[in-house]
Chains A and B, each alone.
Chain A
Amino acid sequence: MNAPLGALDRPNSYIGRSVSRPNAARLLAGRGRYVTDLVLLRMLHVAFLRSPYAHARIVSIDAEAARAMPGVRLVATGPDLARLCTPWTGTLDHFKGMKSAPQLPLPIEEVLWSGQAVVAIVAETRAQAEDAAEAVTVAFEELPAVVEVDHARAPGADRAALAVADNLCFGSRLDTGGIDGVFADAAHVVEEEFHFGRHTAVTLEPRAILADWDPSEGKLTVHHATQTPYQFQDLYSRHYGIPEASVRVVAPDIGGSFGMKLHVYPEDMAVVGLSMLCGRPVKYVADRIEAFVSDIHARDHRVRARMALDDDGTILAMDVDDVTAIGAFSTYPRTSAVEGNQVIRLMGAPYRFHSYRAELSVVFQNKVQTSQYRAVGHPIACAVTERLVDLAAAKVGLDPVAMRERNLIADDAYPCASPTGYQFEALSHQASLAKLKAMMDYDGLRAEQAALRQRGIHRGIGIASFVEISNPSPAFYGIGGARISAQDGAILTVTPSGEVRCQISVTEQGQGTETIVGQVVADQLGVPRERVRVITGDTETTPHGGATWACRGAGIGGETALQAARKLRGNVLAIAASILQAQAGELDMRDGVVVDAASGTERVSLSEVARIAYFRSDTLPRDLSAQLSVAHHHAPQGYPFAFTNGVQGCHVELDVETGFVKILKHWVVEDCGRIINPLLVDEQVRGGVVQGLGAAFFEECRYDENGQLTNGSLADYLVPMACEMPDIVVGHIETPTADTELGAKGCGEAGTAAASAAALNAVNDAMSPFGARIAQIPMTPARLLKALGTI
C-alpha cells in the first residue's frame, strides 16, 4: 500500500486540501496570455478557403486576382506545402489491418469533407486575407458523398476517399466463446439498438497557432494552443525535417481542450509551412464557424446490444455490435479507432459476468473526422450497459438499484479482470452505490415519484455505474508505434533565495494541473505553496513527457512531482546537515525551514541553505555535492491502466405534453484514489457531468444528405448552459492505487462517462407509465414526443 502521505495538520500538508488555483485570479483579471493575444513583429495572418462540397475533385485553382489584393503576401495551395511537409497517416500498428488515406496540409486533388481547407491566403491582417479569399476561384468537380453509415458499408458503395479501397477503416472482434449457447439457454434476454449523435468540443478558446520560422538559425518556434507540446515538437520536426532540438513548441494559457487540441489539424501543419515560405511569423485562429467544420467531432455510434440473464437477474453475457462513423480520415497521430476500441472493451465493466462478444466497425464517410474527446468511448459503453441493466431489471422485476447490487463486482473481489481483458486493481462499486443511494435519498425519491404520477407529474430516476480508464501506460499509444510518451518528467530547483521552481511536462488547460503539482511539491518538500512556481507547456524549458490527456495529469504528473520533491528534499537536508553538522536523518523541512525532526526546533531556513549553496560553496565540504536542482522521470509501472469507478444518479421531470425535460438534480459518487484537491476534483466532475448532460439532451452535429453540417454555429448547435443545468452533488470514496506513492488516479472524465447514461435511464423511467422508450441521444423534445407517440 501507499506510504502514508501524512496527516492534514502539518504546516505544508496540501495533499487532500481544497487549495484554490493560483492562476485563476490572473485569468479572471483578463491577464491571461492565449495564443490569440500574442503579437510578434512582422506577423502575418492566414485565412483558409474551404471546400463547399463534402466530396469533390479539385479541377483548378485561380488565385491570380487574390495575389494582387492589398496586404496579400502569399497564396498557397496543396502542392506548395507538399514540397515542404511529408504526408501523415492516422494508423497505429496495434490496430491490425487499420487503414486511412494519407493527409497533407492542403489537399492536392481531392477534398473529403465540407469545410476542408483548400487554399491558404496569407496577408498583413486577417480581414485582408479574408477579402482576398473571396477573390480565389476553385473549380470543383463534385463526387458522390458518403454520408450514412449503412450507405458507407453497403457492398459496392461509393468510396469516401478514392484512394482507399473500401470504407472500413478498422474492424475488431472480441469473443470469449460459446455466447450463442448462453443466450439460447438464458432465462431472460433484453436488447436495444442505440444511436449516439456526433458532437464536438466547443472550447471557449478556439484552436489557435502562431508559427515563427527563423531561417537565420533554422529554428522553428510554434505558439500552439495544445495539450501536448512535446507530441507536436516531434511531429513538426519529423514532417518538416527540422532537428527536434530546433523546434520549440510553447503552449501558453489554453482555454479548454477536452482532447480536441491534441490532434493534428491540416491548418496547423499548413501554418508551419506558410511561416517557412514567408520567413515571417504566421498566425491562425479558427473562428467559431471554422471550428464547427474542422475541429474533431466525437461519438457517432450505432450500437446493437443484448444482455442475457438468469432467472434471478444475474447477468450472464453481453453481445454487442458497434458501428462508428469517423469521417474521411483517421485522425493523426492517435487515430479515430481508439474510441470504438474502448467502447467494446468497457462494455459491462462494472459487472461480474463471463461471456462476451463484440464486433466493432470503424467506417469512413465524408464528414470531418472524429477522434478522442473527453471520456473517449466511456459514455457509449456506459449508456449501453446501464440501459440494458435497467431493461433487465424491469424484465426480472427488480428495482434498478437492487439489480445493480446483485451484479456489481464485489468490493472484496479484487484484483480481477473483465471479460474484455481489462485488469482491475481495486474498485469500489458497492460502496459507491451505497453512498449514492443515501445521498439521493433514493427510497424517498421513489415514493415521491409514485405520488406525483397520480397528479400527472412524471419524474424519472436514472442510475449509472461506471469504470473510467486513467494513468495509461505505453500500452495505449507507444505500443502502436506512436511517439506519444506515457512518462512525465520534472526538474525541481531551489532558487538562490530559497524559492522553488518546478518545470514539469504535464500541461494546464484550465483544469488546475499547475495547482495540484504545486500542492504535491510543496507538501513533499515542506515549503509554503506560495513559494513553488510551476512552469509548464514549453518544450524548451520543461522535460519531455506525455503532458495532459486521458486522465494522467494527477496520476502520472503528480507522482513525478512527488518523486522529484522527495529527491530534492533529500538534497536540501544533506546540505543542511553538513552546514549544521547534524545527521540528515534527524532533520526535516517544515514551512521552508529545516527543523529537528523530533523536536520541531528551527535550525536553518531553506533560503539560508540556498544562499550558502549558491554563493558560499567555499564553506561547504569538498565532497558534498550541493545539487539544488533535481530531475525526475516517472512512467506508470504495474497495471497498464489505473481504473477508477463511480456511480451517478439523475433526476428529471418530463413534460409529457411537450417532450421537454427539466433536469432536477444530479448526483455523483466517484473514486479517483487519492484526492489531491477536493475542490478541483469536484469541479472536474461537475464540468464532466455538464458535458455528459449536453450530449444527453442538447449537443449534436447534424448533417444533411449531401454531407453539409446544418447547425454549425452557436445559434444552432446547443451547448448546455447554466440555466438548464441542475445542482450536481458530488461524493467520494478513496481507493488509492498501490502502483504509486501518491495513489492518485484520474477524475477528469468520470463526470462525462456516465452522466448521459444516467439521464437516459431517468428519462426512460419517467416515460415508463406510457410504455414508451428511447435509446437515442440527444433526447430532443421531437424524439421524446415521437417516443411517446404524440407526433
Chain B
Amino acid sequence: MKARAFSYVCPATVAEALDAFAAAGSEASFIAGGQSLVPALALRLQAPECLVDIGRIAELRGISQDGEWLRLGALTRHVEVHDHPLIAACAPLLALAAPFVAHPAIRNRGTLGGSIALADPASEFPAMMLAVAAEMEIAGPAGRRRVPATDFFQDLYQTAIEPGELLVAIHIPVARPGHRCAFDEFARRRGDYAIVGCGVMLALPADVVNEARIAFLSVGSTPLRARAAEAALNGRPLDAAAIRDAQAALASDLDPADDEQVPAAMRLHLARVLLGRLLGKIAAAA
C-alpha cells in the first residue's frame, strides 16, 4: 500500500515545531525515526495531513550527565543507547535492554523519544523507564514540565503527552555503584516483540535488597511495575525463598489478557520463570 498524501515541514527548533503542529491543527503528527509511524502510514492505519519532522532539532539530541542526572535527548537513537559509554556507566539497564529492540537497521533510525512517546506496552524502553525511575521532559504551548515514568504511561498508547506536545528529553537518575540490574525477554525470534520481558534494578547494600524496581513489558496495556514482587524482595537477602516469594507475588501484580497465541496462564508462567532467572542471575553475581 501507499501512504495517503500529506504535507511536510521540518522545523529547526522546539518552538517552531510546536507552532507548526498547532498551525496544522489536529491532523498533524510529529515524526522522529519513522520506524513505527512510516509503517502505519504505509498501511493507511494513520493518515495525518501534515508531518512535522523533528529530526533536525538540535536541542533534541545529545547524551549528557549533569550531577545525579543523565539527560538523553528525545532523538537519541536506539543504537546510541546500545553503544554510548555514558549509558553503559550511568544507566546500564538501558544498555542491557537495547540489543533486544528490533534489528540493527531499525535501531539505527528509531529514537528513544519515539519509542517512549508511542508507549507500545511490548516495547523494551518504555518499561525500562519505570525500572530506572526516569522523568520525561515535555514541551507544549503552555511551557515545559517533567513527568515521572509512573505517571507518564496511562493506557494503551496513551501517555502524559497531550496532542501538540513534544517529548524533549528523558532524565534518568544516575545508577550508583551498589545498583544491580538485569534484563531479559522471551521472544519467538531474535528482534521480535517479546511475549514477556523484564528489567530488574535493585540495590544490595549489606546483602539485603532495597529499592527493588521490577518492570515488565508485554503483560498489559501499559508497561507495568511489579510492586508486590518488589515488596517481597525489599529488606530481605536475595535467596531462593525471597525469589520464590517474588515470583508468587506476580499473581497480584500481573493480570495479562488471554490471547489465542499466548494464553494468560502462559504469560504469567513465563513472567515468573523470567523473574526467577533474572533474580537468580543477580544473586549469583553478587
Chain A interface (Cβ within 8 Å of chain B)?
Answer: 125-127, 130-131, 134, 287, 289, 657-660, 698, 702, 704, 710, 715, 718, 721, 723-724, 780-782, 785, 790-791
A-B contacts, 23 listed (Cβ < 8 Å): A126-B2, A127-B4, A130-B1, A130-B2, A130-B4, A131-B5, A287-B1, A657-B273, A698-B188, A698-B189, A702-B260, A718-B188, A718-B189, A718-B192, A721-B189, A721-B191, A724-B190, A782-B262, A782-B263, A785-B266, A791-B263, A791-B265, A791-B269
Shortest C-beta distance, A68 to chain B (Å), equals: 17
Kindly report which residue of chain A lies nearest to residue B266, judged by CB atoms: A791
A-B residue pairs, 10 tightest by C-beta:
A127-B2, A723-B190, A791-B265, A791-B266, A657-B273, A721-B189, A126-B2, A287-B1, A724-B189, A782-B266
When chains A and B are docked, how far (Å) is the Cα of A698 from the Cα of B187?
12
Q: Check A710/B260 contact, CB under 8 A, given A658-B186, A718-B188, A724-B190.
A: yes
B281 at the interface (CB under 8 A from A): no
- Interface residues in B231-286 by Cβ distance below 8 A to A read 260-263, 265-266, 269-270, 273
B189 touches A723 (CB 8 A): yes
B43 at the interface (CB under 8 A from A): yes
- Interface residues in B1-35 by Cβ distance below 8 A to A read 1-5
Q: Flag B59-90 by CB within 8 Å of A: 1 or 0 each.
A: 00000000000000000000000000000000
Q: Check A721/B190 contact, CB under 8 A, given A657-B273, A781-B195, A791-B265.
A: yes
| Chain A residues, CB < 8 A from B5 | 127, 131
A782 touches B2 (CB 8 A): no
User: Looking at B190, B191, B261, which has the most chain A CB atoms within 10 Å of its CB?
Assistant: B261
Extra contacts besides A127-B3, A698-B189, A718-B192 (11): CB < 8 Å: A287-B1, A289-B1, A289-B43, A659-B266, A660-B186, A718-B188, A721-B190, A723-B189, A781-B186, A781-B195, A781-B266
When chains A and B are docked, how far (Å) is the Cα of A723 from the Cα of B2?
31
When chains A and B are docked, how far (Å) is the Cα of A355 from the Cα of B193?
49
B44 at the interface (CB under 8 A from A): yes
| Chain B residues, CB < 8 A from A287 | 1
Shortest C-beta distance, B102 to chain A (Å), equals: 11
| Chain A residues, CB < 8 A from B1 | 130, 287, 289
Interface size for B (C-beta < 8 A) is 24
A723 touches B265 (CB 8 A): no
When chains A and B are docked, how far (Å) is the Cα of A698 from the Cα of B44?
28
| Chain B residues, CB < 8 A from A134 | 44
Kindly report which residue of chain B lies nearest to residue A716, judged by CB atoms: B261
Shortest C-beta distance, B2 to chain A (Å), equals: 4
Kindly report which residue of chain A lies nearest to residue B196, judged by CB atoms: A658
When chains A and B are docked, how far (Å) is the Cα of A657 from the Cα of B262?
15
Kindly report which residue of chain A lies nearest to residue B269, judged by CB atoms: A791
Kindly report which residue of chain A lies nearest to residue B43, judged by CB atoms: A289
When chains A and B are docked, how far (Å) is the Cα of A376 from the Cα of B4?
40
| Chain B residues, CB < 8 A from A131 | 4-5
| Chain B residues, CB < 8 A from A781 | 186, 188, 195, 266
Kindly report which residue of chain A lies nearest to residue B265, judged by CB atoms: A791
| Chain A residues, CB < 8 A from B195 | 781
When chains A and B are docked, how far (Å) is the Cα of A721 from the Cα of B187?
13
Kindly report which residue of chain A lies nearest to residue B270, judged by CB atoms: A658
Shortest C-beta distance, A326 to chain B (Å), equals: 23
When chains A and B are docked, how far (Å) is the Cα of A511 from the Cα of B43?
32
When chains A and B are docked, how far (Å) is the Cα of A343 from the Cα of B2?
41
| Chain B residues, CB < 8 A from A721 | 189-191
Shortest C-beta distance, B217 to chain A (Å), equals: 16
| Chain A residues, CB < 8 A from B2 | 125-127, 130
B44 touches A130 (CB 8 A): yes
When chains A and B are docked, how far (Å) is the Cα of A127 from the Cα of B195?
35
Kindly report which residue of chain B lies nearest to residue A660, judged by CB atoms: B186
Shortest C-beta distance, B201 to chain A (Å), equals: 23
| Chain A residues, CB < 8 A from B266 | 659, 781-782, 785, 791
When chains A and B are docked, how far (Å) is the Cα of A130 from the Cα of B261?
32
| Chain A residues, CB < 8 A from B186 | 658, 660, 781
Shortest C-beta distance, B133 to chain A (Å), equals: 29
| Chain B residues, CB < 8 A from A658 | 186, 270, 273
When chains A and B are docked, how far (Å) is the Cα of A791 from the Cα of B263?
9
Shortest C-beta distance, B218 to chain A (Å), equals: 14
| Chain B residues, CB < 8 A from A718 | 188-189, 192
Shortest C-beta distance, B6 to chain A (Å), equals: 11
- Interface residues in B167-190 by Cβ distance below 8 A to A read 186, 188-190
Q: Check A782/B4 contact, CB under 8 A, given A130-B44, A658-B186, A698-B188.
A: no
When chains A and B are docked, how far (Å) is the Cα of A165 from the Cα of B26?
54
When chains A and B are docked, how far (Å) is the Cα of A724 from the Cα of B270?
20
When chains A and B are docked, how far (Å) is the Cα of A127 from the Cα of B269?
46
Shortest C-beta distance, A368 to chain B (Å), equals: 18
Kindly report which residue of chain B lies nearest to residue A715, judged by CB atoms: B193
| Chain A residues, CB < 8 A from B191 | 721, 723
Shortest C-beta distance, A715 to chain B (Å), equals: 8
When chains A and B are docked, how far (Å) is the Cα of A660 from the Cα of B186?
9
